[in-house]
């Protein structure tokens, strides 16, 4: 009886074996088959128009690959972004282009082909586009950035000429030779006569952060970039009321300016002073007071100063710069022999300003501190960085948003600058027109 049973079982075993092998083969094929592609998610779109350039940012959850090209007559920039599908967030970019944008007339977006979205920027003039990606940093995820620079960029000296400020210089042939002789910026009036013009003084004011880089954010939601720009504009107006002074802002709107570009702008207009304006933040809300900093060649004067310099120097990472175009020229001038003299003059300027600020707010430190701030590294311009107050302190944040406090802060800095020049007249020099 057992033998027939064994014979009948063989076809059943073979069938089971074939079923198992078939199932295994199907599983193997499914494992080897390519998985369906998942499109990246566009998290936010932002547009930062300015006279210097317009920036468009796409924030997303992964790194994106792009190709771009220019089409002439009329001027257009075409960008193909791979790995994404057209969604509502990206569509919202169309409405974010304003009529007063200096360089973009409008933008059109469409699904060019599966997983590829095409952006077409209709331009108002010829531009030099820079398209690059930024790795996650701070609160930001991956970013795809389009910086649209005009082929003919605005000249800061031309802007001063347009305002009627540059032409007020004494003609070069009427100036003393550029020697060690010092001259006052102006002669105080005698017997009611108007002051005698010696030469114009150029002040570069640098409102920190801007655009993609908000700077510190207060507990009440205040952005450092907005507060310091407001203070800088007030200070500009007050300085321009003093005899023979003109002022250049490194930024006059909400857009990002790399640290080394801020220094280059000051040198471009041959500034006599550089004043960077900030509003500090700390992990503890109790931190308070105003501070003034100068550059240091030998390291920071305190751990807090070093920490702050490192934080401010990270602005380029947050604001986002195109590494390929990063200007390394600044590094070559940092060891200039004039650096020591610059730091000495910066300390004098810092003390004059700190003394005035102490009259309207508590000082965080009673002396000018020093650290390696990248934005203070112009070797030929006395430069200071002012932390007007702690935006992370609720009381000081409220004060920083108050028009009257902003005005008093601007007054104090202006008086500090005036008193610095009264005791430290600048060298006579001819201006390159």
Across the beta sheet with 201-207, what order do the strands follow?
245-249, 201-207, 273-280, 383-390, 291-295, 369-371
pLDDT band at 308 (very low <50, low <70, confident <90, very high): confident
pLDDT for residue 429: 54
Assess whether pLDDT exceeds 90 at residue 234.
Answer: yes
- State the alpha helices, DSSP H only, in 189-299: 224-239, 259-268
Mean pLDDT score, 337-353: 87
Higher pLDDT, residue 5 or 285: 285
Cα–Cα distance between 418 and 298 in angstroms, integer?
Answer: 29
Beta carbons of 104 and 121 less than 8 angstroms apart: yes
Tell me what percent of the residues of the chain surpass a pLDDT of 90.
Answer: 59
The CA distance from 370 to 347, in Å, is 9
Specify the pairing of strand 104-113 against strand 116-123. antiparallel
- What does the pLDDT read at residue 338? 58
pLDDT at 231 over 50: yes
Please tell me which residue, 180 or 365, carries the higher pLDDT value: 365
The pLDDT score that the predictor gives to residue 414 is 97
Q: CA 150 to CA 217: how far, in whole Å?
A: 32
Give pLDDT tens digits for 245-259. 999 999 999 999 999
Domains along the sequence of the chain with CATH: 42-150 (2.60.40.3500), 156-423 (3.40.630.40)
- Report yes or no: 236 and 245 within 8 Å, Cβ to Cβ: no
Q: Which pLDDT score is estimated for 132? A: 93
Query: For the chain, what is the mean pLDDT?
Result: 83
Provide the β-strand partners of residue 285.
none
Q: Looking at residues 208-236, what average pLDDT do you find? A: 96
Average pLDDT over every residue of 285-312: 87
**What is residue 271's three-state secondary structure?**
coil
* Contact yes or no for 59/46 (Cβ under 8 A): yes
The separation between CA 93 and the C-alpha centre of its own chain, rounded to angstroms, equals 22
- Sign of the alpha-carbon dihedral angle for 235, 241, 244, 248: positive
């Amino acid at each position: 009886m057992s033998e027939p049973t064994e014979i009948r079982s063989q076809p059943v075993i073979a069938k089971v074996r074939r079923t198992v092998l078939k199932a295994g083969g199907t599983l193997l094929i499914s494992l080897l088959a390519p998985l369906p592609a998942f499109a990246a998610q566009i998290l936010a779109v932002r547009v930062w128009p300015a006279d210097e350039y317009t920036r468009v940012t796409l924030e997303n959850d992964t790194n994106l690959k792009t190709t771009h090209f220019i089409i002439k007559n009329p001027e257009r920039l075409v960008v193909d972004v791979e790995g994404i599908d057209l969604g509502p967030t990206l569509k919202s970019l169309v409405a974010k282009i304003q009529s007063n944008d200096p360089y973009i007339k409008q933008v059109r977006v469409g699904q060019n082909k599966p997983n590829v979205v095409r952006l077409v920027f209709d331009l108002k003039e010829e531009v030099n586009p820079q398209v690059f990606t930024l790795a996650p940093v701070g609160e930001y995820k991956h970013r795809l950035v389009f910086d649209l620079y005009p082929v003919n960029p605005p000249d800061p000296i031309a802007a001063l000429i347009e305002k009627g400020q540059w032409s007020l210089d004494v003609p070069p042939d009427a100036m003393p030779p550029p020697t060690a002789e010092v001259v006052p910026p102006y002669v105080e009036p005698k017997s009611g006569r108007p002051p005698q013009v010696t030469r114009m003084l150029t002040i570069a004011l640098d409102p920190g952060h801007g655009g993609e880089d908000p700077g510190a954010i207060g507990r009440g939601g205040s952005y450092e970039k907005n507060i310091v720009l407001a203070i800088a504009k007030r200070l500009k107006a007050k300085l321009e009321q003093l005899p023979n002074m003109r002022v250049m802002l490194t930024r006059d709107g909400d857009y990002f300016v790399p640290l080394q570009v801020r220094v280059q702008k000051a040198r471009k207009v041959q500034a006599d002073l550089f004043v960077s304006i900030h509003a500090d933040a700390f992990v503890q809300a109790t931190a308070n007071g105003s501070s003034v900093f100068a550059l240091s060649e030998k390291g920071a004067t305190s751990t807090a100063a070093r920490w702050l310099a490192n934080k401010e120097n990270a602005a380029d990472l947050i604001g986002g710069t195109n590494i390929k175009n990063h200007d390394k020229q600044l590094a070559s001038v940092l060891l200039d022999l004039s650096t020591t003299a610059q730091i000495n003059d910066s300390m004098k300027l810092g003390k004059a300003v700190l003394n005035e600020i102490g009259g309207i707010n508590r000082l965080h430190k009673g002396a000018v501190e020093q650290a390696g701030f990248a934005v203070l590294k112009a070797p030929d311009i006395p430069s200071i960085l002012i932390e007007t107050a702690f935006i992370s302190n609720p009381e000081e944040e409220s004060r920083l948003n108050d028009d009257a406090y902003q005005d008093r802060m601007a007054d104090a800095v202006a008086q500090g600058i005036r008193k610095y020049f009264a005791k430290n007249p600048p060298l006579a020099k001819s201006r390159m027109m």
